[in-house]
Amino acid sequence: MNILFVDDENDVLEGYKRMLFPMKDDWPQFFSSNGNHALEILKKENIDVIVCDLRMPIMDGAVLLDEVKKLYPNILRLVLSGYQNDMKAIRATGVAHQFISKPCSAQSLKTTIEKSMFLKKYINNEQMLSVITGLGELPGLPDVYLKIEEEINETEVSLKYIADIIAQDISLVAKILQTVNSSFFGLRVRITNILEALSFLGVNIIKSLILYLKVFSLTDMSPKKINFCESVGKHSTLVAKIAQNISKEFQSEKYLDDDSYTAGVLHDIGKIILLHLPDYEKNVQSLSNNRHLTYDEAEQELYGFSHAEAGAYLLGIWGLPETIVEATALHHQPQNIKHYDSLVLTSVHIANSFVNKRHTESIEKLSLENINFYFPKLDLHYIESINLKNKIIYLYQKYGQIEF
């Protein structure tokens, strides 16, 4: 894996050299102090990852990365900067895949690069890249989401302050209150303001609701597309709720329950991206009906990738946690996970198969022998490999039957 470092300060470049010297055999390194020279190197060498400073004279980092994005879309683009505001500004533009704050240790630089290689699995799909880059602007992370993230990173987090940030967007406030007061959340009290919503449901849940409400209700769409978004949105909130409960069942840490919820909300977000393709839904639906393919198999056949990979790509660009990106990418094929300890992926996969159950009166006859008849999306080999087969019926009876 070849890495190119670009920084106008020579001391910084020397620092990287020293830090990564022990890894030079695994990761051949190239160094450049300006954008034009970096582009020369990119022409000659087969670079896999570019780590770039933002503030540089002549050609700044954002311009260079934009150029790299156009010329070599398969190269992973990392930003390393000492200025939080610069990073925030660039985050939603999609010119960088990951962000690292300066100063950083050799270890954290190494971990971020390794983590980003994980994302590379999804950006290696040439067909997906050409389709997605052809769509124009990808939806950026909503501004209000970024502001909340910023506050969460402070040492003393103030819920009141977060509530004030959200309150600036009146229509968002109305939608959040409407959602949390719907019978779906099952709260026994009526929530009348955002501060209450934050204390009852927690910041993470509200954050994923914001993503959901902003992304799933993109404007400028035909009524048909709005309907499609709404049905994906409803499906996703159900998956989220069940996945969160399944996570809790395994006595996980609170943050994992929240991650399972967020991954549930976002697992099908790729469908919303692909909706920008001409006749996406119609084509996928008719192919899957005619040939008895699942929805993602039909996508695979039509475009060479599915909504799962497209969604994971977007979430990776947004810098969401690896567990959430992974759960999104693999929610239909959990057996492709390298390690068997992703509770978030497992919860989302099971929840998704519960929500996509075959609707039939006879579900009381559910047994270990006929699980796949009722839950065609459940990957039984995977469930067996993690010793959960015997728990599936119990999980379904306890958490899987909620509906809107």
Binding residues for Fe ion, rule: CB under 5 A, are: 268, 352
State in angstroms the smallest separation of the CB of 311 from Fe ion: 8
State in angstroms the smallest separation of the CB of 357 from Fe ion: 12
Of 8 and 299, nearer to Fe ion (C-beta) is 299
SS3 category, 370: coil
Alpha-carbon span 288 to 293, nearest angstrom: 4
Of 343 and 350, nearer to Fe ion (C-beta) is 350
Alpha-carbon span 60 to 64, nearest angstrom: 6
Torsion of CA 356, 361, 363, 364, to 10 degrees: 150
Going from the C-alpha of 367 to that of each of 239, 348, 375, 390, the distances in angstroms are: 22, 21, 11, 10
Of 3 and 327, nearer to Fe ion (C-beta) is 327
State in angstroms the smallest separation of the CB of 49 from Fe ion: 29
State in angstroms the smallest separation of the CB of 145 from Fe ion: 22
Of 197 and 269, nearer to Fe ion (C-beta) is 269
Of 7 and 268, nearer to Fe ion (C-beta) is 268
State in angstroms the smallest separation of the CB of 376 from Fe ion: 13
State in angstroms the smallest separation of the CB of 289 from Fe ion: 17
Alpha-carbon span 348 to 246, nearest angstrom: 9
- The separation between CA 8 and the C-alpha centre of its own chain, rounded to angstroms, equals 32
Alpha-carbon span 55 to 109, nearest angstrom: 19
State in angstroms the smallest separation of the CB of 267 from Fe ion: 6
SS3 category, 250: coil
State in angstroms the smallest separation of the CB of 329 from Fe ion: 11
Of 51 and 310, nearer to Fe ion (C-beta) is 310
Sign for the CA dihedral angle at 265, 333, 245, 160 comes to negative
Of 119 and 308, nearer to Fe ion (C-beta) is 308
Going from the C-alpha of 278 to that of each of 273, 284, 305, the distances in angstroms are: 12, 11, 16
Give the 3-state DSSP-derived string for 163-225, with helices as H, strands as E and coil as C.
HHHHHCCHHHHHHHHHHHCCHHHCCCCCCCCHHHHHHHHCHHHHHHHHHHHHHCCCCCCCHHH
Residue 315, judged by CB atoms within 10 A of its CB (0-12, 13-18, 19+), counts as buried
Of 53 and 268, nearer to Fe ion (C-beta) is 268
Alpha-carbon span 392 to 113, nearest angstrom: 37
Token pair of 354 as six digits? 């519960």
